[in-house]
């Protein structure tokens, strides 16, 4: 049942005041209903262009550049023919030490279990050419992938020309507005129908459920965690629920580590990586990608990513984090495309 108008206005005013008073994290936290704990509001400082001053160490990539490679390519692996049942339960895999996730490669492979989830989704009617963006402001930002829908005038693949096939294959998903990606979202928000857009969704649907039903996505980038800094204790349980719901819908959840360390001990990233390993789902270790960048790809607030155009052939541009964000996302999608090709 929706809150009445006066309560809604009060909550919105309170949320607005908090945003003005506390600007220390990445996305403006949405007002919290009385039934859930209060969130720490997050600032919405616009990305600024970095001053290109350092030479970068190479970052491991999946696509093979034409000419001289700038990084060591990582081969996309397809899954074996024998496929396990895509049950939404943890796999019996080795556990990670507290910092072992830092050594995981940026670009994942597609496991047999993830392929089984994909194939179960095809039987449900999911579209193999569709992916969803799920999470906070980094998932909802217009500069996350949307330019690839505008034509080649808005991006330059340069040595990564093989990724044009990925852009063609997933056309329509890059600039689609997700119903499960909003400023201020944390893991709990994805699971609560309080935050459902009722102009498009059913009253009893969660944002995640509505997004999957309407998009018919086969893959989903799960970009969450920065806004969970004030509720770390519940983050693992909520993220498990997101993973298990995604798998049950036949959607392969692609978990993504954060570039920031707002929690101070990297524990949220460690949890993201741990659950990716437990469920044998893809992990895009974006934290690893940005480590060679100036200030590790972060602006002075140590939260927002540094920004520049998607010109992958320009060394100065590639000193910013957002071009790498978008390049990595295409590389991850390439793994999904090749790994599920018939």
Q: Is 133 helix (H, G, I), strand (E, B) or coil?
A: strand
Helical axes 207-215 vs 232-248, angle rounded to 10°: 30
Name the residue among 123, 83, 86, 103 with its Cα closest to residue 253: 86
Measured CA to CA, the distance from residue 140 to residue 55 in angstroms comes to 30
Out of 16-30, 116-130, 147-161, 204-218, which region has the weakest mean confidence (pLDDT)? Answer: 16-30
Question: Which of 44-58, 79-93, 189-203 is predicted most confidently?
Answer: 189-203
Out of 15-29, 33-47, 271-285, 297-311, which region has the weakest mean confidence (pLDDT)? Answer: 33-47
Q: What are phi and psi of 133, to 5 degrees?
A: -105, 125
336 versus 92: which is more confidently predicted?
Answer: 336
Find the mean pLDDT for residues 183-212.
96
Name the residue among 156, 167, 157, 87 with its Cα closest to residue 131: 167
pLDDT band at 46 (very low <50, low <70, confident <90, very high): very low
Contacts of 188 (CB under 8 A, 6+ apart): 36, 228, 231, 234, 238
- Is there a contact between 329 and 106 (Cβ–Cβ < 8 Å)? no
Q: What is the pLDDT of residue 152?
A: 80
Q: What is the mean pLDDT of the chain?
A: 81
pLDDT tens by residue, 228-273: 999 999 999 999 999 999 999 999 999 999 999 999 999 999 999 9
Contacts of 39 (CB under 8 A, 6+ apart): 29, 30, 32, 184, 186, 227, 230, 231
Q: Where would I find the H helices in the chain? A: 5-21, 112-123, 137-140, 164-169, 207-215, 232-248, 267-279, 286-290, 321-340
Name the residue among 142, 141, 147, 71 with its Cα closest to residue 106: 71
Evaluate the CA torsion angle 101, 48, 15, 198 in order and state its sign. Answer: negative
CA angle 320, 156, 315 (to 5 degrees): 40
- Is there a contact between 66 and 161 (Cβ–Cβ < 8 Å)? yes
Measured CA to CA, the distance from residue 296 to residue 269 in angstroms comes to 15
- Going along the chain from its start, the domains and CATH numbers come out as 60-340 (3.40.50.1110)
């Amino acid at each position: 049942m929706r809150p009445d108008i006066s309560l809604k206005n009060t909550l919105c005013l309170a949320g607005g005041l908090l945003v003005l008073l506390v600007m220390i994290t990445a996305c403006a936290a949405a007002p919290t209903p009385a039934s859930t704990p209060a969130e720490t509001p997050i600032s919405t400082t616009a990305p600024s262009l970095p001053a290109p001053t350092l030479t970068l160490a190479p970052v491991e990539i999946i696509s093979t550049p034409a000419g001289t490679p700038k990084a060591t390519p990582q081969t996309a692996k397809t899954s074996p023919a024998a496929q396990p049942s895509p049950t939404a339960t943890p796999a019996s895999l080795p556990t990670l030490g507290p910092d072992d996730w830092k050594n995981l490669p940026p670009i994942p492979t597609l496991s047999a279990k993830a392929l089984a989830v994909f194939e179960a989704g095809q039987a449900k009617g999911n579209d193999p050419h569709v992916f969803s963006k799920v999470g906070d402001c980094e998932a909802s930002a217009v500069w996350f992938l949307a330019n690839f829908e505008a034509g080649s005038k808005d991006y330059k693949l340069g040595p990564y020309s093989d990724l044009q096939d990925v852009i063609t294959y997933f056309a329509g998903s890059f600039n689609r507005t997700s119903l499960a990606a909003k400023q201020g979202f944390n893991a709990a928000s994805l699971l609560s129908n309080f935050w459902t857009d009722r102009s498009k969704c059913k009253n009893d649907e969660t944002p995640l459920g509505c997004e999957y039903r309407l998009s018919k996505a086969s893959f989903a980038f799960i970009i969450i965690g920065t806004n969970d800094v004030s509720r770390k204790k519940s983050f693992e349980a909520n993220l498990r629920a997101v993973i298990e719901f995604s798998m049950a819908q036949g959607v392969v959840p692609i978990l993504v580590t954060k570039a920031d360390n707002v929690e101070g001990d990297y524990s949220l990233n460690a949890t993201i990586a741990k659950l990716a390993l437990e469920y044998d789902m893809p992990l895009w270790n974006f934290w690893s990608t940005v480590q060679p960048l100036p200030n590790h790809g972060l602006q002075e607030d140590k939260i927002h990513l540094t920004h520049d155009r998607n010109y992958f052939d320009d060394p100065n541009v590639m000193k910013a984090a957002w071009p790498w964000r978008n390049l990595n996302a295409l590389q991850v999608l390439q793994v999904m495309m090749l790994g599920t090709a018939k």
